[in-house]
Structure 1
C-alpha cells in the first residue's frame, strides 16, 4: 500500500450485482453534500450499456452521471475511468478516460488490469486532490473467485489504495445473512479487516421481526451494522441495467411500446415516459406484440445489425409496418434511427462481423459505421410544431446520409458551437428519427413530441426536477435509517 493514496474515501461493495451499490453511493453523495462536504463519486470499472456524455465529449457509466448530479458536479471521465460496453456475449468495447481504446473478448478479459489499472489510479489520485471525500462504487461482488487475480473493481482496488469498505446486500432477494457472511468468509484476512460493516437494503415489514438476525450478524462477524434501508416504492432514478417490462399506468392519454432488443443501450432515455402519469409505457420482451401502441420507439443499440436481425426474428418488423398502415407513430433513437433507413453498413467490423444489413426501408437514407465514435452534448430546436427547444447527447459510430435527411428532426449546436442538423421527420410526419439521447428530459421538448404522437396536449414536467426531488427523497431515507455519523467518521478519516 502506498502513501500516495493517503486520502479520504469510502467504498461501497455489494454481495451481488444489483444489490444497491449505485443507489447507495448516489444517496450518500447527496447526504454528504447536505453536510457541506465536497464529495465526488468514483467507479474504477463499470460494465454497462447505459452511458452518459461529459461536457468535454467523454463517455462514462450512467450510474456515475447520476451520482455526479447527486454531488452537484458536472460530469467527468475521472468519475468512471474504465467503462466496458458489451457488444456480444463474448466481446466488450473498452473505454478509458471517456474514449474507446480497445476490444476485449472472453479469452483476453484478464488483460484489463494491465491495460487499465494505471489509468484508474491516475483518476483516483486526481479526485483525492480535488475533493474532501471520494465515494467509490464496486462492481458485482468482491467474492468472484475466478476474477480475483485481475480485479481492479473491488478489493483489488481497495487494497491497492487502502480504502475502507462497507458491504451492502439486498434482503428482498432472500438469504441476506448468507450473502453477507459468505462474502466476508471468501475474502482474505486483510480484505475482511477492510470491511467496516454492513448495510441491508430493500427491507419490507416490521424491523423488530428482523432484530434477532441483526444482533446475530454483528456478534458473528464482529462488524457494525450501519442500518437497514426500507424498500422504496416508485423510486424515479435512472436504473443502471435492469429493465422493468411491466406497464406503469392504465389511466393514459398515450400508449408507448419499446421492443427490448438484446443489446439495448441507454434505455434510461425512457424514464420520463415510464413514470409519466398519463402515459401507458411498456418495454416489450421477446415473444410479445408491439401492436396496440399509439407510439412505437426503437431504442439505441450497441450492436445495431444484430439487433435489427433479432427484431425481424420476433416478427416486429411486420408489426411496425402494420402499425404505420393503421396510422401509428414511430420514433427511432440512435441505433433505432439507423434501423429506419435502407441499409446499415459496417465495412470495418466496428460492432460485429463486417458486412451490410438491409434496414426497415421506411426512409431514404443509409448508415455506415465508422471507427471514430461521436460523443457530444448538444442543444438546439426541433423542426416540429413550434420549434420547441431540445437538448441531449450523442453516442454513435454511424454516419447517416440520404435525401430523407433533408427534412431533419432538429438543428443543434455542440459544445464548441458548431451547428448542424440531426435526424429526420418523414414527409407525412408519421416517422421521426434522431441521434439524440435524453431528448425527453426537458419539459418543452417532451410536450412537443407527445403532442406529435398523441395529437393532444399532455402536460409534462422537467425530468431534472423529478430527479433532484428523488435524490432528496433518497437522502431523507438514508438520514433516517442509517448511522450517518458513523459512516462520515469512516469516510473522513485518513486512518484505515
Structure 2
C-alpha cells in the first residue's frame, strides 16, 4: 500500500461531509511545505465543471484543489465526470472528453471499463507528482453501488491507497455515521482505513472527548482530528447551491436567478453572492422573479428541457413584465441560448430531437452539435461606451448564429455574446464572466449600480483555501498521516 504521504484518499460518510474542502486544505498544507502535490477524484457527478489547460472538462472542485496546489488543472485529476441530463441518465466524460450519454443501469456495467481510464490517469499523476490527495464520492457504504465501484473503496483497493473517513458533526449522529460506515465495509477495506476526521464542530472539544475515546476503542482507528465550524467559510460548492451571503445594510442591486432542473455552473454567481452590495437570490419551483432589478438566466445541461420548465413556472411572463418595466436580463451559456429565437437539437444531443422556440429577445439561433466547445478565454468587454478586461471559459454543445452588436472581443479576434438594441438584455457564452474585477464593475454599472465595492473573487478563493489549511494544521494530528515530514 502506498504510504499516506505519497497517496491518501479522503472518503466521507455522506455527500457534503467535507471531502472536497478537506482535500483542498490538505493540498495547500503540503504545497506550503514545498511538496509537489496534485488532487485526484476518480469519478465525479456534477453539473459544475471547469475547462483545463489541455482543453478538457473536469469537476470544478478539482480545479479549486489544483489552485490549492498552486498548479494548473489537467483532465487526469478527474478522469470520469458524469453530467446528469435526466433523472436516470448522464453524459459520460472520460479524461476531459464527452464519450456518450448513458442510462444509470448501462453505466453501472460500463464502470468495469472506466476503471482502466481511472487507473491510467492516477498512474500518470503518481509518476509526475510527489504526493496525490484523492477525493472519494458520496459514501463508500452505499450497498447498491458497491459492485464495480470506481469512486470509493473499489478504486482504493485497485490502486492500493490508504483512506481516511470524514463525517460532518453538524448534521448530527456523527459517531453512528463513522462507526456504521466502517462496519459496512469488507475486512480488507476496513484495514486500509487509517483514521477518522470529524468536521464542522461547534463548542467545547472537552464535551466531545468521551465520544472520541469510545470511537477509537470500538474501531481501533485513531481520530486524526476535529475541525471546527468555520463561520462565513465560503469555497466553491461542488454541486449544491450555496445561499450564504454577507450583505451590507442596503443592497444596491437585487438579482434573481431561476434554478433550472439541470442548472449548470452556478458557481458563476459566487462573486455576486459574496458581494456586500448585491442581494443575490436563487428562485426555485413555485417562487416568483418579481422584485428583481436584474434577472440572470444561468447555464443548463438541457437547454430545451429547462426552457420548457421556465415556461411551466410562468417565469417567461414575469421576464416579459420585468423588461416592460425597464429591468435588465442577462443570460449565460444555456441562459443566453434561451434568450434567442430558437434552440434546435436535430440529433438529440441533449434529449429528444426537435426545436423549441426561444424567448425571442435576442437575434440568435442555436443548433446543438456533436462537437462540444471547451476553451479558456480572455478578452475585452465593451458596454456603455466603456471597456474592461474579461476572462472565463466556454463549455457548450450549441453553436449560435448571432446578429447585431457583440460586446466581447476575444484574444483570438472572435466575438462573443449579444446585446439587445434596447440595451436591456445581455447574453454571453462565458462562464466566470463576473470573476474579473474590471468586468464585474462594468457589468454592475450596466445592471444599474455604480460605485459599488470592489470584490476580488480570486483573492477570496485564496483566503478560503488558506483558512481551511490553517485549521487543518492547528487541529489535525498530521504526524499520524505524514511522520516523514517531521518538522518541515
TM-score (norm 2): 0.96
Question: What is the alpha-carbon root mean square deviation over aligned residues?
Answer: 1.7
Superposed, 1:354-369 pairs within 5 Å as: 354-369=353-368
Superposed, 1:204-223 pairs within 5 Å as: 204-223=202-221
Match for residue 398 of structure 1? 398
Match for residue 46 of structure 1? 44
Q: CA deviation at 1:455?
A: 4.2
1:433 has 2:427 as partner:
yes
Counterpart Cα distance in 2 of 1:196 and 1:444: 47
Match for residue 234 of structure 1? 232
Q: Which of 430, 437, 443 is matched with 2:437 structurally?
A: 443
Match for residue 321 of structure 2? 322
Q: CA deviation at 1:244?
A: 3.4
Cα distance per residue 1:22-54 (max 9 Å; x no partner): 000001111111122111000000000000001
Counterpart Cα distance in 1 of 2:479 and 2:461: 25
- The residue matched to 1:332 in structure 2 has which SS? strand
Q: CA deviation at 1:396?
A: 0.2
Match for residue 282 of structure 2? 283
Rate the CA distance shift 1:221–1:335 in 2: closer, same or farther, 3 A. Answer: same
**Cα contact 2:275–2:455 (8 A) shared by 1:** no
Counterpart Cα distance in 2 of 1:294 and 1:29: 40
Q: CA deviation at 1:246?
A: 6.1
Match for residue 486 of structure 1? 480
Match for residue 58 of structure 1? 56
1:134 has 2:116 as partner:
no
**Cα contact 1:8–1:491 (8 A) shared by 2:** no
**Cα contact 1:92–1:103 (8 A) shared by 2:** yes
Counterpart Cα distance in 2 of 1:36 and 1:237: 23
Match for residue 268 of structure 2? 269
**Cα contact 1:14–1:142 (8 A) shared by 2:** yes
Q: CA deviation at 1:459?
A: 2.5
- The residue matched to 1:353 in structure 2 has which SS? coil
Superposed, 1:395-474 pairs within 5 Å as: 395-403=395-403, 406-413=404-411, 418-474=412-468
Superposed, 1:38-117 pairs within 5 Å as: 38-117=36-115
Gaps of 5+ in 1: none
Aligned length: 484
Q: CA deviation at 1:115?
A: 3.0
1:153 has 2:132 as partner:
no
Superposed, 1:294-309 pairs within 5 Å as: 294-309=293-308
Rate the CA distance shift 1:490–1:139 in 2: closer, same or farther, 3 A. Answer: farther
Counterpart Cα distance in 2 of 1:47 and 1:68: 18
Which segment drifts farther, 109-118 or 469-478? 109-118
1:387 has 2:381 as partner:
no
Q: CA deviation at 1:367?
A: 0.6
Rate the CA distance shift 1:286–1:491 in 2: closer, same or farther, 3 A. Answer: farther
- The residue matched to 1:276 in structure 2 has which SS? coil
**Cα contact 1:29–1:71 (8 A) shared by 2:** yes
Counterpart Cα distance in 2 of 1:455 and 1:135: 42
- The residue matched to 1:345 in structure 2 has which SS? strand
Q: CA deviation at 1:439?
A: 1.0
- The residue matched to 1:214 in structure 2 has which SS? helix
Counterpart Cα distance in 2 of 1:490 and 1:275: 39
**Cα contact 1:264–1:300 (8 A) shared by 2:** yes
Counterpart Cα distance in 2 of 1:488 and 1:70: 19
**Cα contact 1:78–1:124 (8 A) shared by 2:** yes
Counterpart Cα distance in 1 of 2:478 and 2:448: 47
